């Protein structure tokens, strides 16, 4: 349990000087370790259905869109869907494409009574590189963590 507590403490320290209301921020590798070692922890993937289908999925993640595709409007049912899928006291790790929308989702969940929300920094694909492409300088996929490449469930 010591390693898990150390990771969660580090995640909390990362956001100390920010206005974040959620519990902390983890790198993808840290998030994966927490997800695997914390009983009842859930990884909540908030990317759009299109991103999940065309970019890749994380096996075992709870998938709830933060934004709808097409159009990009915020999912008005996000918190209701989250409540239906996970326990309010579960350790929740939110991930999106880059870490931005997952931070918003973690904030919204925290403000609505979920007690242990963490943002996964870098997201699934990481930040844009010099050529304005993702997936080459950070993120879940870049870290070599488990994901499937398409709807057929083939491992990447």
Q: Is residue 109 part of a domain?
A: yes
State pTM to two decimals: 0.93
Taking 90 as the threshold, does the pLDDT of residue 154 lie above it? no
Q: How many domains does the chain have?
A: 1
- Digit-coded pLDDT (tens) for 120-130: 999 999 987 88
In a domain, 85, yes or no: yes
In a domain, 8, yes or no: yes
90 lies in which domain range? 2-120
pLDDT surpassing 80 at residue 156: no
Q: Is residue 65 part of a domain?
A: yes
Q: Do the domain assignments include residue 141?
A: no
Q: What is the pLDDT of residues 32-77, one digit of tens each?
A: 999 999 999 999 999 999 999 999 999 999 999 999 988 889 999 9
Q: Give the chain as a DSSP string.
A: -HHHHHHHHHHHHHTTTS---SSEEE-HHHHHHHHHHSTT-EEEE---HHHHHHH-B-TT-EE--SB-TTT--B-TTHHHHHHHHS-TTSEEEEE-SSSHHHHHHHHHHHHTT-SEEEEETTTTT-S--TTS-SSSSSSTTTTT---BSSTT--B-
CATH number at residue 8: 3.40.250.10
């Amino acid at each position: 349990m010591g390693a898990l507590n150390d990771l969660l403490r580090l995640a909390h320290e990362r956001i100390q000087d920010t206005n974040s209301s959620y519990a902390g921020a983890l790198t993808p590798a840290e998030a994966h370790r927490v997800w695997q070692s914390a009983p009842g922890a859930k990884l909540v993937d908030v990317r759009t259905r299109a991103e999940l289908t065309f970019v890749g999925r994380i096996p075992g993640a709870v998938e709830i869109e933060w934004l709808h595709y097409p159009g990009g409007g915020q999912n008005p049912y996000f918190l209701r869907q989250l409540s239906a899928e996970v326990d309010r006291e579960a350790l929740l790790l939110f991930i999106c494409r880059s870490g931005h929308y997952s931070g918003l989702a973690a904030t919204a969940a925290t403000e609505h009574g979920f007690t242990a929300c963490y943002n996964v920094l870098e997201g699934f694909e990481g930040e844009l590189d010099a050529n304005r492409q993702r997936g080459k300088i950070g993120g879940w996929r870049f870290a070599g963590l488990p994901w499937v490449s398409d709807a057929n469930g083939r491992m990447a």
